[in-house]
Structure 1
Amino acid sequence: VAAPARRGRALTAAVVVAALVLFAVGGGAGFALTRALAGASLLPPPSAGAPSLPAITDEAPARVTTASAATANGEQGAEFTIEVGADWTSFLEQRANRGLAPSTVVHLVAPTGGYEVSVQRFADYYPRHSVEDYLSLVRSRWPKGQYFGEATDVTDPLDPAAPEPPVQFSYRTVEKATELGRAADAGGRDLRRSRYSRVLPRGADLWVVEVVFPTEQEEMGRSRLFDTIAGTFAVVG
């Protein structure tokens, strides 16, 4: 008599388990169907991370931009032209430099903020200073561990009669996420930049044309931004 009762309890348990399985499968299928009908992916959403970098193309329209890196109104020899994107914006900075004369910097920035060209002019730089003095100034601006990959190379002169030869100068920097106001635990990432410049003596002045782009895009940034843009720089007058 006891055997049928045990079989009855076992059958009831099996029915309950089967019902739970069907409920789970049905619920999962319903969830999947709902997301499919809504056009959503069945995979979990990706975790928040750094935004994708804008593509560097050589098809963007360029425009000849004329600007002045004068330290005083009406100063001669401070105007220049350079070709950048037609939609780039510009702003002017007067910069104090430890151990060197003050300089004027014209910043030209892409709409995304990811790429920048700066034209810096040190008036009456020679004969008191040298290209090496400028390179030392750049190195001193970055804390240890945030400046690396320095390299120098030859480049075409802006002024064949200049006091010393020009230099192509490149280096990489890293700015910590916390220093940029982005918490590391909130998806913030360190900002890594590659900086290529031409350091160009001209008469008594020193000009520096620098192009900055994400290190992740260094190869393309050098060929499509630096090589293209820096070569269009010219001093007017």
Structure 2
Amino acid sequence: MKYLEYTPLDRLNNFLCHVNLGERMIKGCLEAYSCKHTGPDKRLSFSLEHEILDYIGKSSDTDSSSPVDSLCSRSSRKTLIYLVLTLYHMYPDYDFSAVRAHEFFTDESWDSFKQIFDTYMFEASKEWMGTNEGNPLLATLYKALDEVVNLSECEIYSYNPDSDTGPFLERGAIWSFTFFFYNRKLKRIVTFRFSCLSNLGFITDGYSNDDEDDDEEIFNDMDI
């Protein structure tokens, strides 16, 4: 897969990289990828396909009621592999399991995405309007996505892993969302990650940097 550069996404990324809301900060990132395989992608795709088929075979042998029907379709497996390959490009240091990832992908519609966006990005949208009069953030996002992946032809997925099974949550994160806009005809995916972080992140695990400095002073007075 190949990272694609698009000016409409750059404009949004420049705004979303740091939206300061006082004690909180909104961060967002849009990335576009071509689904055309590179050499490493072909090998990884082959490995993921075998992982899925092996899972289907074991599930059908051990539990006939196992919910693997969607993975039995070649088209569904291909879509899942594209999504997982995209995850690998987003987080190259993390090892994703296709079967495990499948559990966390959810089909979405534009309306369900819009509901989440309107709820969680309300304050960021107000900040955007302050410097972009007459152009709502969601409308600008829709136009950019439509230009890159043609939203009317897109399948939309959200990815919501458990907090302990993914690299998504940064330190101080209050909430986080990851969406995939996949156009099967164009063989193109746009990812949209947005999260809310606490600006009080300097206080972690119950102590601050000042506490650490105090500890150093104490140990400096001790004979070792």
**Is the radius of gyration larger for structure 1 or structure 2?**
1
User: If each structure's helix is expressed as a fraction of its own residues, which one has the higher value?
Assistant: 2
* TM-score of the superposed pair, with normalisation by structure 1: 0.30
Compare relative contact order (CA 8 Å, sep 6+) and give the higher one, 1 or 2.
2
* TM-score of the superposed pair, with normalisation by structure 2: 0.31
User: If each structure's strand is expressed as a fraction of its own residues, which one has the higher value?
Assistant: 1
